[in-house]
Structure formats: structure tokens, C-alpha cells
Amino acid sequence: MIAAWMLGSTVFALLLCVAAFAIERVMRLTGRPTRTPWVLALALAVVWPLMAPLVLAPRLKASAGIPLVLPGSESSPAAMIAAQLPSQSAIWEQRAATLLLVVWGVLSALMLWRLLMAARELSRVTRLAKRVQVDGESVLVTESLGPAVIGLWTPSVAVPEWFLQLDASLREMVLRHEREHCKSRDPQLVWLASLSVALMPWNIGAWILSRRLRLALEIDCDARTLGHESDSIKYSRLLLLIAQRQSSYPLAAMLAESTSHLSRRIRAMQMTPLKKPVVRVVLFTGIATGALVVACSPRIASDLTGPGQKPVSATAAKLEAEKMGGGTVYFESQVELPVSIAPGSIGPKYPADLKAQSIEGNVLAMFVVDEQGMADVASFKIVRTASNPEFEAAVRAALPTMRFVPAKIGGRSVKQLVQQPFSFAVNRGQAPLSSAEIKQFGDPNSDKYAAERATIKQGTASRSTESDTKLVKPQPHIAGQPYFESQVEVPVSIRSGYKGPEYPAELKAKRIEGTVLAIFVVNENGQADMSSFKVLKSNNDQFAAAVREAVSKETYTPALIGGVAVKQLVQQPFSFSLSR
């Protein structure tokens, strides 16, 4: 969401403020100009947040881990349809993001308009000014603006009429100060600082950096001026005199030198160098380093990429499931027989008021099924919903009464993390099966389809036991066509004795772990069609090669429709972990 990006940009800019302040102290203690850290910090605060989504987003996405692939997850057609439906929270987030963008655009437009008006004001003052020679220096004599440097491409020194009445030595100090501004291209830096604030008017860090940059420009020019004039007391009194006699130009002051930092400038001139500044230099260097490390941390970087809905990594989901479910929890790919719906298990009840209004919806839930085939309610979480909250309540209420056949490893029941979609659909009057179809697929009123009539089939959307839901007609078998898991009666499964890919010796020796997400078609003979094999995600080419080799040698139990083996498209994660 844009709000997270804006917050991340502001925090990033504030951390740069801390770093620039510490570096400024170091440079001041070592007698060097102090503008550089503020210039760099302001440039980074504006440019990097705009570039980060393009530079960092692909890297963070690649390192986030594989998506959670479980029975009935995003790989199934039902879940794909549900994923395309925006949730209520997503709709509100989108509206809030739109509002923030509108407010941002309005504020930036006002700031840019103000800059334009300031430039026009300075242009008007320049046209009305008289160019004269003062102590050998060509200056613009204005009614009351100045002393200041005005102009972007060809800066000129502007002085008020009362300036001509000052003593020659005072005039020389003022003109030298303004010449230093011109030599250092300070007017251009002031323009850039004002433009940066206009581009990000909501960024407090950018405002602070802009203000501190202008102060640093004045302090540097004061230091160079005092290099020719040793009397700092006299120079300080001159600054006070100028501040008292300057007139107010609200808009023009944006692009001319400011006197608002006068007290700090005078204190900076009065500072005496330390005899042993090493301790303070080390201290401020450490502060600057720490602020930069935090600013470049992955947490700040993830906010700068403009995060949206982040995928749940397999590792994070498993740790959360084990924490809530207690004990070791397995994925579908780690068990020999995955969780399935027990025959006769009753699914969620269609909310009466929503059913009466023909309101449909989908809910994607995640929970742990324990060794007894019971859903652990404490681990229940709504992953995605694109419908009314009453559908979520119906799923949550039905879960304690639902019965499952637990997952098995070596004949032993184990816990498994299940991600299951539930679909609430009003009957649209589906045509009954013909006698030929009953002969081919079986009688839907027979015991074979009892569980199907009662609730959902594993890997497909749930169906209400109400009268509005009937058995969905089985997919007819078309030779050579690969099916999704939800389109077959019995999905592809891993045969007993499955060993999985071999851990690459080189990576194992270096203790490098990783994950691979692959997609491929399993033929009617249980062999993987390697021409369809694709690696969707991998953090190391050696892991991907190991998976490819293992899949090519593995034999699966093929998918079935009406007792006939068919092809099925399989999306399978592989984990390479040394902790197993």
C-alpha cells in the first residue's frame, strides 16, 4: 500500500537526517565544509524511494521463499477464481491509497505553484532593480531585498538601497559572502532543495534535510568569508544589522538566502577547535554508521518497495502451524497420504439470509488436521475472503464438526497443514446426468459419491449440504488432456518409498539451504513428462538441477477419473534443509 511506502520513505529520510547530522559534526571538527552530507542525504531521501520499487522489489520477491502450495491452494482453479476477487479489506486499502495519492498530488501542485510564484517575484525584483558598480562589483540595487544571490542560471548579487550607506569594510565582507555563494553554486542547491520538498510535501525528513542544507550553505560561506576577515565579532554584528533591516518577501525568500538561522551561524563562528577531537569524531562516526545501517536494513527496504499482500513462505507457515498446533506439522509433499475429507463429513452451512438474497462467495482457510482427523481450531486462519463475513463465520462454525482422514507417513497418522477453499454457490439448475454418463462415470446417487454429496472433495471448493447444491458432473475423460487436481476424482500421489531429490554435496558442505517450486505433468503411466517440467522459483541452480533429475526418475500414482488413469498438472515444492 502507498501508505506503507510513504511511511518507509519518511523513516528513511529521518535516518538520513541523523547520519548527515553526525557526519556534519565530524567534518566541522576536522575543519571541512559541512554542506556535502546534507546534499547527499537530501538527494538519497528523494531519489532512492522512487527507485527502490524498481531495484529492490524483484530481489525481495525472489528471496521471500516459495508460496505455500497445499491441497486446494492457489494452484487449483477454484482458488484461482477466488484469488481474482478483491476482498473487502483490499477494496478499502485501494480507496485509501487513491485518497492519499490525490492529497499528495494537490499538495505537490500547491508547492510547485508557490515555487513558480517565488520565481516570478524574483524576476520582477530583478527587472525593477538597477545594476551598478559597488566597490568594483556589479550588483543589482533593489528597493529592500537583499543582500542575497538571486537567479538560477546566471546568479546575481542583489543589495538593498540602504546597503550603499554602509562602511566600505562592511560592504566588502557582505559582497565577499555573496560571491562565495555564487562560486559554490548555492542558488542551484537552494532550488533543488525547494523542489525536493515540493515533490514530497508529506515527508518530514525531506523538510528537515532541506532546512539543514540551507543552514550548512550559510555556515560554509561564513567560514570562507572569515578566512579573509579575522574579526568574527565584527562580522557577527554585521549579520545582526542586516537581519534587522531586511524587509519581508514571503515568496522570494524561498529562493534567496534566509536569516532564520542567524543565531546558529553566529554560534558556529564562535566555536573554538578542540585540541583532541578524536573521541568525538569516533562517536559521531559510529552514530552515522548505525543510522545508515538501519536505513539500509531489509525492513526499511521492504517498505520502500511499496508492499502489498505478501506471500506466505512455506517455512513461515510451517513454523506458525507448529506453534499453534503443537508438535511437528507436515506439508502435503512431505507425507505419503495427504489429509482427505472423511465420508459423511458435513461442510459449512449456507447462511440463510445470504442464500435468500442469492449472495455467493468464497473463503480460503488454513488450519492443522491432527492425528485423529480433527481440525485444530486454534490454528484456524482466514487466508483470503472475497465475500460477506457471514461466510467466514459459517466456515469457522463448521470446522469443529468436520471429520478428516489424517495424513500418514509410514502408516502412522501425523499432523498436516491444510489450506482449503470453501465455495458458497446458489444452485443454477445443473442438468442431470444422462444414462450414458451414468454408465461412464457411475450413478451419482450411489455410495461412491456419498461423501461428495455431503461436503467438499479434497482439493476442491466445499459444497453445502443444503438442497441448493447438487453433485457437480464429473469431467469427461479426454485423451491427452492434462487436468487440474480439482478436476480429477483421485489426484496424483507419491508412491511409498519416495526419496526425493538428492542434496547437492557442494551446497550441503557449505550448509546452504533452499527451496524449489516446480510444475510438471504426470502422465497416465505415473511418469513425469519432462518436456512440461518448469522451475517456477529457486534460490540456487544446483537445487533446481537436483529436483529435475529426481522428478525424471520418480514414479507417481497417476490421477484417476472414473477409474481411468489421466494426466494431471502438478505443482510441487521441494525443500532442502539441513535441520531435518
Helix axes 88-128, 2-29, angle to 10 degrees: 50
* Burial class of residue 224 (count of CB atoms within 10 Å of its CB; 0-12, 13-18, 19+): middle
Helix axes 2-29, 204-226, angle to 10 degrees: 20
**Mean pLDDT across the stretch 467-494?**
58
pTM for this model (two decimals) = 0.51
Residue 103, amino acid: V
pLDDT digits (tens, 9 = 90+) for 175-210: 888 888 888 888 888 888 999 999 999 999 999 999
Binning pLDDT at 50, 70 and 90, where does residue 346 land?
Answer: confident
pLDDT digits (tens, 9 = 90+) for 130-172: 898 888 888 899 887 778 888 777 888 888 888 888 888 888 8
**Mean pLDDT across the stretch 534-562?**
88
> Could you tell me the three cell numbers for 214?
540551507
DSSP β-ladder status, 156-160 and 137-142? parallel
Cis omega (within 30 of 0) for bond into 147: yes
**Mean pLDDT across the stretch 101-110?**
94
On average, the pLDDT of the chain sits at 76
> Is residue 518 pLDDT above 80, yes or no?
yes
Question: What is the C-alpha separation between 510 and 578, in angstroms, rounded?
Answer: 11
**Mean pLDDT across the stretch 75-83?**
38
* Burial class of residue 519 (count of CB atoms within 10 Å of its CB; 0-12, 13-18, 19+): middle
**Residue 432 or residue 415, greater confidence:** 415
Structural element, H or E, at residue 208: helix 204-226
**Mean pLDDT across the stretch 11-35?**
90
pLDDT digits (tens, 9 = 90+) for 265-305: 777 777 766 667 788 889 999 999 999 999 888 777 777 76
> Is residue 470 pLDDT above 90, yes or no?
no
Query: Which of 299-303, 385-389, 406-410 has the lowest average pLDDT?
Result: 385-389
> Is residue 486 pLDDT above 90, yes or no?
no
Structural element, H or E, at residue 442: none
Output the pLDDT for position 451: 42
DSSP 330-387: E-GGGSSB--EEPTT---PPPPHHHHHTT--EEEEEEEEE-TTS-EEEEEEEEEEE-S
